[in-house]
Structure 1
Amino acid sequence: MYLEKRRRRWYAIHEIPEDVREAIGRGKQFFKGLETEDKFIAKRRAALLEVEWLSLIEQARRGTRDHVERDAAYWRKVLKETPEEFREMTLDYIGDETQARVERAMERAGFTDYHQDGWQDLPEVEAAYRFNAIATGRLVKFDEHLDEWLATLSNEAKTKDMKKSTVLKFVEEFAYVQDVKAKDVQRWVNRLVADEGKKAKTIQRILSELRGYWSYLISIEVISRDHLPFEKLTLPQEGKRTAGSESWVPFTPADVVALLRAAEAKGDTQLADLIRLGMWTGGRIESLCALRVEEVREDSFDILHDKSQAGRRTVPIHSKLKTTMDRLIRDAGKDGFLLPGLSMNKYGDRSDAIGKRFGRLKTDLKFGPQHVFHSIRKTVATLLENAGVPENVAADIIGHDKPTMTYGLYSGGASLEVKREALERIDYPGYG
């Protein structure tokens, strides 16, 4: 594309590649007067023409003249970035392009007059009007405001990424805000269960995240407040569980000891230490890998890095963990972590690599997908229950929400001594 001045007026010129000249039918060049003597205005008008001409070249190469959504999305971007004084001019270009698309569709279908019946029903004419609606913002891409919504959230990065992934998955089915209707969302939910095997809890999370984004779109007046396609949906009933379909299950105490001995036999001391920490505390793998030396005292330690408020707690050091804990503190590395040297992912989680080592270990011992490191947490909960520990005390040790309003809302929690006495009740046969 280049500009040329003739008789004080500027013209835009673009060479047409030889391989598409016949298809386009314009000779060797695109050529159009820009109706201005001002070079600045000429450059802006030429830039808009260049989009159209490049689009025609690409369409000719692909054998089609309608790349509606891509072209419209570009013009939508141009319109949003156009200064207010040139906005009408840009809208005129969009209008001209819409009209040109309509006329091309009519010509190909044999219509010569707008008074003839039927041309309005041509698919290409409908596509032309959709192009206009997208380009002018009357149709809004569902994810157009996604990043600005995420920026308003106080969630940690991992949670934000999950929300973003949910919206982008939804966009695969519903490209535009105006495409979202309650009946279609219901059918989409039905398919998540029937085709993808999503559980009710997962669907509830997905819908909650979509409602959050939808509320933001309402708040910035992209959509009206009375359009609520995510409300009053029916969650399809899940079928009966088949054998092997249950969620994670606890290891037996003997299984945990076997895992520990296998890690020791492989010489993976760090993984063995992680298993010891898990089996005597019930901590989540992420929380245990985030433990710092400064958070450990003589007889207890603080878990400050947990995904829930209830998970941030003080845990007594079991008498059979004391030797391991003393050694870890004594041998701690310069990074200050109880389990030193673990790499950190983009979310600040240090458990990825060692978690995979645990996965390989348990697979070698013939444990299936229902057994994961979290299963040790379930083992501890089971041992506490079988030892007769009250549920509220077990919740304070494990880091769960309290089961009742009285304990959950009003209690300050079990004392360290009460938790210590409860935790000392658990044992693992053959640990020694």
Structure 2
Amino acid sequence: MPDNLIQKKNEQTWYVIKQIPKDVRRALGNRSTFTKSLKTGLRSEAMKRRLYWLAQWEADIAAARHAKAGAGDEWRLAQHTVGLDLQQRQTNAVTKIYTPRNPDAAPADISWFEMLPEMVRELRDEGQNEIADRLTSLARKHVDVLENGVNAGEGINLQHEFLMIIGDLEAACTAEEYNLSDEEHSEAQSIARNPTIYKPRSPISPSMIEAWAKHLATQIKSEKTRNSCKARVEKISKFLTTEGAPLNFDTIHKFLNKQGGASQTLANYVWSGRNFWKWASRYDPQFREQFTGQPCPFDGHDLPKTGDSVGKSYIPFTRIEVEQLHKKAKEGGKDDLANLIVFGAFTGARLEEIGRIKPEHTIFDHAGEPIGFKINESKTDAGVRDMPLHPSLVTLYKNLCSQASANDGYLFKGGNNKYGNRLDWLSKQFGHFKTKAEFSKLHVFHSIRKTTTTELHRAGVGLEVLPYIVGHEHKSFTLSVYSAGCSFEQKQEAINHLTYHFSTD
């Protein structure tokens, strides 16, 4: 019937018919075909009328498949949970029933057997006649149990047979709830009987992570930070799949314990997971439906507050140590690194802020002399600022500006790593250099920024000016909300308090 038309025996009326795919038959009333009278004996008219019903049925099939796809692996996970529960109950039964053969042995626990009559009645009422028959057979086969008792071995066999029937009953209920095909129903039975054949997949799918990553691009400016967040959630998802574990507080607690590392590292995992959970609960319908009403599994974790795992912040160099690093860099012929150290010490600017400065960012006085520069690109909005030049930095600044044409228009020669960081190569050079000078892992180029902040603070620069120099958010509500910030002259006066004795050889 290539045209989907048939005529029944002894009838002139045409019918349209369509086979229902096995995977959606249960969802569509347990039928194998759709059939509809077209109420015409004219084949030409029937050919036209059939199109409406064929299109409707195709839509019904697509909707049924979409609903199943939306549920994903929920039914397998449900049967896996059932199987684990039955497995545990069987283990408990064996432990309780089996005892050495002696006169004082406790009688077998057959409380489950007393439940059979009521269960059979309920199953009959619900149309589960096949399973009701199996329970009835079990009861008749062992009708003498209540009168004569049972030994340990028989008790274990009875319990096992009973639990297998319960597993099949759960599979039937799951098949009904999720509109499973016959093949899927059979798989549900197998999972309940042997839960190890299915390992639950993470509810955090790759497509969900990609969609969340696009959302992060509208929330977090730094690509490196976004990629780190994404990598953390991908690692959490992989852990869930590998462990075959659900997404809940206990599993995340186990995951965090396996990570080790500093408290801040664990806090980053918690933050990334919580951010994903918040997004998925709002914008992913399947995730929202699956976890509605459940608490966020990333909330409430007590992270380390004492010991080595707490983690430590970067340590500032002393003023003398910065001067010594500069001297050794000069002696070693590392002029770019030496210039970077001087620039960082007299500005407190972040590495990539320095790497983005161009001659056209210069601020001039009325005589045309450079007195500062603009930082137009920073990791935060507060980092975008006008920065005064320390008098001791002016000569170097002019020299760097004169060489900018050889550095793609920037003061410092640079390249681009995958995140677009120009001075990554100098950062690595500084890392090797300070390690050779026997400084700790907590001493990095960012430590010079801390040195500058420390020197300014000790020189009496107050918090009404200091955050505007280093590009931090101001903690004061009044200053952050109502003030336009301190003047360039105030920052200039403050920066002039810095004193370094850098060698010029």
Give TM-score scaled by structure 2 length: 0.58
Q: Does 1:227 align with 2:294?
A: yes
The separation in 2 between residues aligned to 1:188 and 1:347, in whole angstroms, is 28
Alignment-derived partner of residue 215 in structure 2: 152
The answer to which of 229-238 and 251-260 deviates more is 229-238
Structure-2 residue corresponding to 1:391: 463
Residue 169 of structure 1, CA deviation: 1.6
> 1:427 is matched by which residue type in structure 2?
T
1:408 pairs with 2:480: yes
Q: 191, 198, 216: which one pairs with 2:262?
A: 198
Query: 2:345 is matched with which residue?
Result: 279
Question: Residue type matched to 1:307 in 2?
Answer: K
CA distance in 2, matches of 1:352, 1:85: 56
Q: CA deviation at 1:228?
A: 2.2
Cα offsets for 1:313-336 (capped at 9, x unmatched): 111000000000001111112511
Relative to structure 1, the CA distance from residue 320 to residue 182 in structure 2 (aligned partners, 3 Å threshold; closer, same or farther) is: same
TM-score (norm 1): 0.67
**What residue number does 2:442 align with?**
370
Greater helix fraction, Structure 1 or Structure 2: 2
SS of aligned partner of 1:428: coil
Matching of residue 339 in structure 1 with residue 402 in structure 2: no
> Residue in 1 aligned with 2:431?
359
Q: Deviations over 1:132-153 (max 9, x none)?
A: 9979xxx844444110121123
Helix, strand or coil: the match of 1:358? helix
- CA shift, 1:349, in A, is 0.9
The change in CA–CA distance for 1:84 and 1:299 in structure 2 (over 3 A counts) is farther
Equivalence for 2:422? 350
Write the distance in 1 (CA, Å) between the matches of 2:458 and 2:326. Answer: 22
Question: How much does 1:226 deviate?
Answer: 1.9
- Partner Cα separation in structure 2 for residue 377 and residue 304 of structure 1: 18
Give the deviation of 1:160 after TM superposition: 1.8
* Counterpart in the other structure of 1:303: 375
Q: Residues 299, 127 of structure 1: CA spacing in aligned structure 2 closer, same or farther, 3 A cutoff?
A: farther
Shift of the 132–239 alpha-carbon distance from structure 1 to 2, 3 Å rule, reads: closer
Distance 1:323 1:180, change over 3 A: same
Q: Is 2:394 aligned against 1:322? A: yes
- Report the Cα distance in structure 1 between the residues aligned to 2:65 and 2:281, rounded to whole angstroms: 30
Which of structures 1 and 2 has the bigger CA Rg? 2
Aligned equivalent of 2:28 = none
2:274 is matched with which residue? 211
- Matched position secondary structure for 1:400: coil
| Alignment: residue pair count | 333
Residue 236 of structure 1, aligned match among 295, 300, 303: 303
How far residue 203 of structure 1 moved from its aligned partner, in angstroms, is 3.2
Provide the rounded CA distance (Å) in 2 between the counterparts of 1:178 and 1:217: 19
RMSD: 3.9
CA contact (8 A) 1:143 1:167 kept: no
Letter in 1 for 2:306: G
1:300 counterpart SS class: strand
Letter in 1 for 2:294: H
Contact 2:245 2:251 in 1 (8 A): no
The answer as to whether partners of 1:383 and 1:426 remain within 8 angstroms in 2 is yes
Query: In the alignment, which residue of structure 2 is the partner of 1:270?
Result: 336
1:12-27 matches, within 5 Å, as none
Q: Could you tell me how far apart the structure 2 residues matched to 1:141 and 1:248 are?
A: 34
Instruction: Report the CA distance shift for 1:236/1:269 in structure 2 as closer, same or farther (over 3 A).
Output: closer
State the alpha-carbon separation in 2 of the partners of residues 419 and 241 from structure 1. 38
Structure 1 pair 141–377 and aligned structure 2 pair: CA distance change class (3 A): closer
Which residue of 2 is the match for residue 161 of structure 1?
227
- Matches of 1:141 and 1:402, distance apart in 2: 38
- Aligned amino acid, residue 263 of structure 1: A
The match for 1:174 is 240
1:20-58 Cα shifts (integer Å, max 9, x gaps): xxxxxxxxxxxxxxxxxxxxx9xx99xxxxxxxxxxxxx
Note the C-alpha offset of 1:173. 2.5
Listed as ranges, the matches of 1:249-268 within 5 Å are 249-268=315-334
1:187 CA drift (Å): 4.0
Q: Is the 8 A contact 1:392 1:403 kept in 2?
A: no
Provide the C-alpha distance between the structure 2 equivalents of 1:204 and 1:421, rounded to a whole number of angstroms.
39
Give the counterpart of 1:186 among 253, 268, 288.
253
**Does residue 126 of structure 1 match 2:192?**
yes
> Displacement of 1:130 after TM fit?
9.2
CA distance in 1, matches of 2:500, 2:457: 15
CA change 1:425–1:147 in 2 (3 A) is same
Q: Give the SS at the match of 1:299.
A: strand
Q: CA deviation at 1:429?
A: 3.9
1:420 paired with 2:501, answer: no
CA contact (8 A) 1:289 1:339 kept: yes
Q: Counterpart of 2:250 in structure 1: which amino acid?
A: K
Structure 2 distance, partners of 1:178, 1:149, is 22
Helix, strand or coil for the counterpart of 1:350?
A: coil
Query: Percent identity between the aligned chains?
Result: 26
Residue 105 of structure 2 corresponds to which residue in structure 1? none
Deviates more, 1:259-268 or 1:177-186: 177-186
Structure 2 CA distance for partners of 1:384 and 1:160, relative to 1, 3 Å: same
Q: CA deviation at 1:159?
A: 2.2
Amino acid at match of 2:323: V
1:292/1:336 contact within 8 Å kept: yes
Alignment of 1:138-149 (within 5 A): 140-149=203-212
Distance 1:87 1:133 in 2: 28
